[in-house]
Amino acid sequence: MTTRGKIVLGALIFALLYFGINKLIASNKIFQKADTQSVLLSSIELPVAPSGSRANLVVPLAPLPGTAPAENGTAVVWEVMAWNSQMAGMLANGGPRTTMGSALAANKIDMQITRQDDVSKMQADLVKNALDLQSNPQTPGLIVSIMGDGMPAFSAVQSQLEKAGTSLQIIPYSVGKSFGEDKLMGPKEWLDNPKAALGKTIACYLRDGDHNIALKWCADNGLKVNPDETTYDPEAVNFMAASDFLVAAEKYIVGKPESRTKVVSGHSTGVKVDVVADAVATWTPGDVNIAKQKGGLVNIVSTKDYSNQMPNIMVTTKRWYEKHQPAVLNMMTAFAVAGDQVKSHPEALTRAADISAQVYGDQDKPGAYWLKYYKGTSEADRTGNVVELGGSKAFNFSDNLTLFGLDNGGTNIYAAVYKTFGDVQSKLYPKELPSYVPLTNMLDLTLLRKLQAQYKGKAVAPAETQQFAADDEIRRSVSKRAWNIEFNTGQSTFTPAAQRELSQLFDDLVVAGRLKVAVHGYTDNTGNPTANQQLSQARAEAVAHWLETKSASAFPEGRVQVYAHGAAEPVASNATEAGKAQNRRVEVVLGN
C-alpha cells in the first residue's frame, strides 16, 4: 500500500472510532450523563457561585432517593397527621420506610413513617414507647408531629410519662409549617363585621391548632367565647366538638343540629335550643371537602395571616432522645438537606408529594392532590364563591435558626407561640388544662446550636423573610382590638403596669408574623385639642418603638405604622371618669 493510501485509511479508521465512541457515549450505555450537579446528602453546606456572593447562592438539585429499603441505621418510628407541612421529611425518608439514596439513609437513620390523625392516640403511643424502651432499650424510638401551638395542651401527657420514668422532649428542628391550609372558614359577612359571629357556632377539634386560630381571631376582635361546648350563649361565639378535623368539616356539610341549653351571663336559662355548625376550623382536606361538597363559607383567617402559629413540632421522650444524640443530630441534618431541595426544586417537591400519598394512604388522593394543596390554590366552591384552599411551607436549616431565635440575636418565635396559646387554653379550660409544661423543660437547643457552630461561615441556603413596605396601607383588616396600655398622666411613658399588657401584645403580634400592624392612639377630650393630638401621636409611637426595640427581627422596618386621632372617635362618654378612661386607649389593627 502506498504512503498516501495508508494516510487515507488511517484517517477513515480515526473518523470511525471518533464518531462511534461519541455515539456510544451519547447513548448513555457507558457513561450516565448527570442531569444536575450532585450534592452530599449528609451535609447542609452548599457549593457557591465563583463570586462567592450569598445573593448568587444556588441549591443544586440532588439525585432523588431510590425506592429500595435501606434497612440500615438507628431505627425510629415517626407518627404524622395527614398534613402538608411534612414535605421535607417525606423527601428525606424517600418513602414510608427509609430508602436507598435518601438523606436519612445517608445519615444512618432507618425511619418508618405512619399516619396518625388522633392526637390522644399519639399521646398513648408515646407512653407505651417509653415503657417499651424501659424494658428493652433496643426498641425503636417514637417521634410524633403535632401543631406547634397545640403543644401546651399536648403536654398534658407529661404526668403519664413521669409515671413511666421519663418526660417529653422536643426535637429542636421543624420540617415546615402550615401557611394557609389551617383556617377558620365562616360566612362572608364575618370579614367586614366580626361581631356577626356572636351567637354562632364553630365546629372544630377542641384544644388544638385550628381551635386556636378561631380563639385568637375572637380575642383579636374583642369577641366573647363560650368555653362550654355543651351549652349555647347567644352573646358569645360557641363551639361544636368534633373528633378530628375532617369530622369538623362534615358537621357543617351535613348540618345536623345539636340540642343545647341556653345560657345568659354564664347562668342556665333551662331553655333548650338547636344549634348547627355555622362555621368550621379545619385544614386540608377539610377545607377542600367544604368547598366541593357544600360551599357557602370563605376564609376568615388562616395560618397565612397567623404565619408563625403552626410550625410542625416533633416530640419524643427524653429517655430515647438522651441516648441517641448523634442520631438526632444526623436526622436534623437530613431534614435540613431535604428542606433545601423541596424549597428549591419542583422535582423534589413532586417526589415528596408522591411519598406523602403513600404514607397517608387515601386512594382518591394521589401525589398530585397533595402537591396542589401544598402550594395552595384558589377555587370556586359549590355556591360560586372563590376560596383559598391549602397552603404549607417547608423549612430549611436557616428557617429553623429564625424559628428558634438563633439568627443574630433574633426572637425565639416558637417560645412566643407556645406561651400565647398555652395561656389561652389554660384560661379557657382550667379543668382540662390547669397548667402546662414550661417550654424550657422540653426544649433544649443544644443540638441546633451545635449544627449552627458546625456550619458557621459556610455556604447555607438563607431563611425566608417577610418584607413590608412602609407606605403600604392595610387594605384588608383581619382584626381590631383596644389594648389597656397604661401611660403616666399627660405623658407618653409607660407605667409599670403596662409591661404585662405590652408583653402579651408582643407575643400576639409575633404569632401574626405576616400581618402589618397599625397602632392607633386616642385620648379623652380633656385639655387642648392640639396637645391631645400630639399626645396620642407620641403614645402610639411609644408602643411602636417598644415593639421594634424588643425585636428588630419580628418587627422589621415597615411592619408597624402609627396613627394619631387625639380625642376623635370616642368609644364611651367623656362625661364620666370611667368613660374617659375607656377613651384613653391604643387600638391595634392587623391586616395586609
pLDDT single digits (tens) 342-375: 999 999 999 999 999 999 999 999 999 999 999 9
Least confidently predicted of 21-25, 334-338, 379-383: 21-25
Query: What is the pLDDT at residue 33?
Result: 35
**Mean pLDDT throughout 457-461?**
94
Which strands make up the sheet holding 477-483, listed edge to edge?
Answer: 477-483, 586-591, 516-521, 560-564
Walk me through the domains of the chain, giving residue ranges and CATH numbers: 74-177+308-454 (3.40.190.10), 183-302 (3.40.190), 477-591 (3.30.1330.60)
Q: Are 482 and 443 in contact (CB under 8 A)?
A: no
DSSP state of 491: S
Predicted pLDDT of residue 472: 87
Is the pLDDT reported for residue 14 higher than 80? Answer: no
499 has pLDDT over 50: yes
pLDDT the model gives residue 39:
52
pLDDT bin (cut points 50, 70, 90) of residue 247 is very high
Q: What is the mean pLDDT of residues 179-189?
A: 97
Contact of 305 with 478, CB cutoff 8 Å: yes
Per-residue pLDDT reduced to its tens digit, 108-123: 999 999 999 999 999 9
Identify which of 499, 471, 462, 470 has the alpha carbon closest to the alpha carbon of residue 484: 499
Question: What is the overall mean pLDDT for the chain?
Answer: 91
Could you tell me the CA-to-CA distances from 253 to 83, 173, 275, 286 in Å, in that order? 21, 37, 14, 10
Among the residue ranges 14-18, 68-72, 116-120, 559-563, the one predicted with the least confidence is 14-18
Query: Which residues, other chains included, contact 329 with Cβ-Cβ below 8 Å and sequence gap of 6+?
Result: 447, 450, 451
Give the whole-number percent of the chain exceeding pLDDT 70: 92
Give 561's DSSP letter.
E
Q: Is the pLDDT of residue 474 over 60?
A: yes
Helix (H, G, I), strand (E, B) or coil at 138: coil
Confidence band of 46 (pLDDT split at 50, 70, 90) = confident
* Residue 103 pLDDT greater than 90, yes or no: yes
* Mean pLDDT, rounded, for 213-219: 96
Model confidence over 308-336: pLDDT tens digits?
A: 999 999 999 999 999 999 999 999 999 99
**Mean pLDDT score, 463-474:** 89
Does residue 567 surpass a pLDDT of 80?
Answer: yes
Find the mean pLDDT for residues 175-194.
Answer: 97
Q: What is the pLDDT of residue 470?
A: 80
Percentage helix, strand, coil, to 5, in the chain? 40, 20, 40
